[in-house]
Structure 1
Amino acid sequence: MVLKLYGLSISTKTRSVAQVCKELNVPYELVVVDIRNGEQKLPKHTQNQPFGQVPYIDDDGFVLYESRAIARYLAKKYAGQGTPGLIPINDPKAEAQFECAASIEAFNFDPFAYGVAWEKVFKLRRGLQTDEARMAEMLATLNTKLDAYEVILAKQTYLAGDNVTLADFFHLPLGTMLEGPGFELDIFSKRPNVSRWWKAISTRPSWLAVKDGA
């Protein structure tokens, strides 16, 4: 049975899971959930994703939601194919470094990148006005966090060491949005080591394949 990915093609988290599938050579079927019309809040969806969000997967009857959890599950289940070591499960120290990097993304990048995107992109799509002061606050914090990234990436190729992991990939959907046409905040390119890292992960074939839609 082909893995079923329930989500919207352009949603950030749906594309994140789709990229991992591409890296691992895992075929998937995208089952479209029309979040614009609130389909994710209907009982047929919430029985599998009780928070009424996307995505979730159905892997031959095994249902799982939360994109980071899904990515970890896929990386472990299909560790023998595609890109190796997306989670370095055979080396406790390397796995600890991965978990450190994953925490960095989840708590030092995502909240502030999302805060900027919410004010500048998502609010406008909903017909709401941008709170410029709030956006500036989020952007200032994000820049401070990326200064720390510059220090880390001066010592190693990727966020968890010298091999690419899921922790790097998790940055791509929001990071691409902030660097995209009409936005272009220059948050990556003005830092040499961050710029090198960003170019390496954002040009991977797996991301280019889903960048505009899962």
Structure 2
Amino acid sequence: MASLKVYGDHLSPYLTIVKLVLAEKGIDFQLVPISLFKAEQKTPEFLKLNPWGKVPVMEDEDGPNGKPLVLAESRAISIYLAKKYWDTGTPLMPDPSDPAATGRFNEAMLAEALYIDTPAIEVAVEKLIKLSRGLALNEVALNALRATLKTNFAVVDRILATRPYIAGDEYGLVDIFYTPSIHLLERSGEKDVMEGLEHLASWWAKVKSRKQTAHVTAEAHAAFDELMAMTKTANGTGEGDKTGASSKLQLPCESEDVCNY
């Protein structure tokens, strides 16, 4: 049995990040399913692992000094894994002895979290969750998010005009951090926010052609296909349950605690 456990749901874009890192490193792990539908990330048992009630969470039985380590937050997990398995698989971070490369990496990582992740996930929630349930879209909010993403992706495009990957000359963690956001935008029919950005398009073509990216995002696609099918059935737009049980499916992004990924 793998000494590394990852708790999460394939619907979570942040689980996708961790899975991409593990795939690039070729590390075996055990996925412990945490159902967002059932709000299992809010159970007392899970809150012992992560008091914030979010996925993913990593549990490494062979942590520092041979002691178990529990770690939350996808980017923190990713950096831990990239450093622990430095000499395994794809190098995903710059040499820490190179301060310029490390600074550029940190700059790019923070920019993704600040300027891309949040609006991209909010668009996906609006389009994939609300629309699938027949709920009214907030077009004012959507248009504002689209405008923000267009502006911010234009900056990314200018950066990519100067180097092949977002943080430097080699594929790495920052490229992985961008992947689920762009995947969700494409999935939700919002790729127009990247229209006309040739450097971004060239970079994305390279990233999504990686076999690790194709495999992991295919699992996310399958999870969203299942979500759509379940939603249609629960809302009476599919064949549905003839017994009349559960006329409405509870989704993870409907409550005040939006997008509990």
What range is the shorter-chain TM-score in?
over 0.9
3-state secondary structure, aligned to 1:81: coil
> RMSD of aligned C-alpha atoms?
1.6
Q: How far 1:127 moved relative to its partner? A: 5.8
3-state secondary structure, aligned to 2:30: strand
**Deviation per CA, 1:67-92, whole angstroms, max 9, x where unpaired?**
00000000000010101143432311
Q: How far 1:160 moved relative to its partner? A: 1.0
Q: What is the distance in 1 between the residues matched to 2:158 and 2:19?
A: 30
Q: What is the distance in 2 between the residues matched to 1:2 and 1:50?
A: 23
1:88 to 95, 106, 109: 95
Q: What is the distance in 1 between the residues matched to 2:157 and 2:149?
A: 12
Residue pairs, 1:101-112, within 5 angstroms:
101-112=108-119
Cα pair distance change 1:85/1:140, threshold 3 Å: same
1:198 to 195, 204, 224: 204
Q: What is the distance in 2 between the residues matched to 1:212 and 1:2?
A: 25
Cα pair distance change 1:52/1:87, threshold 3 Å: farther
- Structure-1-length-normalised TM-score: 0.93
Q: Which residue of structure 2 lines up, in the alignment, with residue 177 of structure 1?
A: 184
Q: What is the distance in 2 between the residues matched to 1:87 and 1:32?
A: 32
Letter in 2 for 1:68: R
Kindly name which structure, 1 or 2, has the bigger radius of gyration based on alpha carbons: 2
- Structure-2-length-normalised TM-score: 0.77
Q: What is the distance in 1 between the residues matched to 2:130 and 2:54?
A: 17
Percent identity over paired residues: 37
Q: Say if 2:215 is the partner of 1:209.
A: yes
Cα pair distance change 1:74/1:126, threshold 3 Å: farther
Q: Which residue of structure 2 lines up, in the alignment, with residue 66 of structure 1?
A: 73
Cα pair distance change 1:13/1:89, threshold 3 Å: same
Q: What is the distance in 2 between the residues matched to 1:40 and 1:124?
A: 24
Q: What is the distance in 2 between the residues matched to 1:90 and 1:72?
A: 16
Residue pairs, 1:1-214, within 5 angstroms:
1-60=2-61, 61-125=68-132, 128-180=135-187, 183-213=189-219
Letter in 2 for 1:119: E
Q: How far 1:108 moved relative to its partner? A: 1.1
